[in-house]
Amino acid sequence: MTLTLTQPSLTDFITTRVHESAERLRRDPFYARIIGGTATREEYAAWLIQKHKYVRYTEELIKHLVAVSAGPAEAGGEAAALHEYAQFEAVEEANHDDLLVKDLAALWDVSRAEARGRIELTERAPSILTYARIYEAFLVHQPKSILGIAFALESLAALHADEIRLALLAKSRIEGIQRSVQFLAAHCAEVEDDHRTHAAARIEGLSDPTEEAAVHHLASLALDMYEGLAFYLGRKFPAQEA
């Protein structure tokens, strides 16, 4: 008897990868302190800094997709839908890196200018450096691969952002923590589920195997980058014995 395996949809495949990544993150000692709301001020600040290191690229990525997806006004179908999605994301993601600057300024009780300066002086996690170099190459040859990044990271945010924010507010001993969770609030599950639904529709509209493979690869790259920054911070901030 021949066993026939059904090929999962691309979004189903990425979603499975997201859940696997989310569970590995929960087992990471550093990330466990973040998601459990027990991270120290220094640990939380270090995590926000590394998030800024990759979030700062988001507007560039989306603007590029807006540009390459633009076509004649009379064009319709999937091409028009992709351009509409890109324009929607450009509005939704605008200035989100600045939310991280505001959170860090409040956390450190410094001006936004000083907070930005501290961010710039902090080195990037190696995984973010790799992420930046690879996606730059894909922007030229496979711009639709940006959909994979958006879907993967928005799916992960939908799973964790609310939990982290609520845990910090309930358990953190960091004074004034309520002023430093703006980025998490902006990426709540309700918002991110809406975003990932839009991205999923565009991903499922792809029919070129090369484009689909590029989306798959960039989604995996984004998740590897995120896990990598957690590993890096875990080495910088080893758990202290009780």
- Higher-scoring residue by pLDDT: 192, 60: 192
Within a domain: 85: no
Q: Are 200 and 11 in contact (CB under 8 A)?
A: yes
In this prediction, residue 77 has a pLDDT band, given cuts at 50, 70 and 90, of: confident
Structural domain total, the chain: 1
Cα dihedral sign, 195-91-205-14:
negative
**Residue 155, token pair as written in the block:** 């799916």
Model's pTM, two decimal places? 0.89
Q: What residue type is assigned to position 17 of the chain?
A: R
- Please name the helix (run of DSSP H) or strand (run of DSSP E) that holds residue 89, with its range, or none: helix 77-93
**Residue 71, token pair as written in the block:** 């076509």
Within a domain: 111: yes
Output the domain CATH number for residue 147.
1.20.910.10
Within a domain: 1: no
Question: What is residue 137's predicted lDDT score, i.e. its pLDDT?
Answer: 84
User: Each residue of 6-29: pLDDT tens digit?
Assistant: 678 999 999 999 999 999 999 999
Give the alpha-carbon dihedral of 71, 77, 79, 80, to 10 degrees. Answer: 60
Question: What is residue 177's predicted lDDT score, i.e. its pLDDT?
Answer: 97
User: Each residue of 90-147: pLDDT tens digit?
Assistant: 776 767 789 999 999 999 999 999 999 999 999 999 999 999 888 888 888 888 888 9
| Interior angle at CA 173, CA 42 and CA 166, nearest 5 | 95
Q: What residue type is assigned to position 184 of the chain?
A: L
The Cα–Cα gap between 109 and 162 comes to 24
Q: Which domain holds residue 14?
A: 10-70+94-236
- For residue 73, pLDDT over 60 is answered with no
Within a domain: 61: yes
User: Each residue of 168-218: pLDDT tens digit?
Assistant: 999 999 999 999 999 999 999 999 999 899 899 999 989 999 999 999 999
Q: What residue type is assigned to position 78 of the chain?
A: E
Question: What is residue 223's predicted lDDT score, i.e. its pLDDT?
Answer: 97
**Residue 190, token pair as written in the block:** 């309700």
Within a domain: 78: no
Within a domain: 81: no
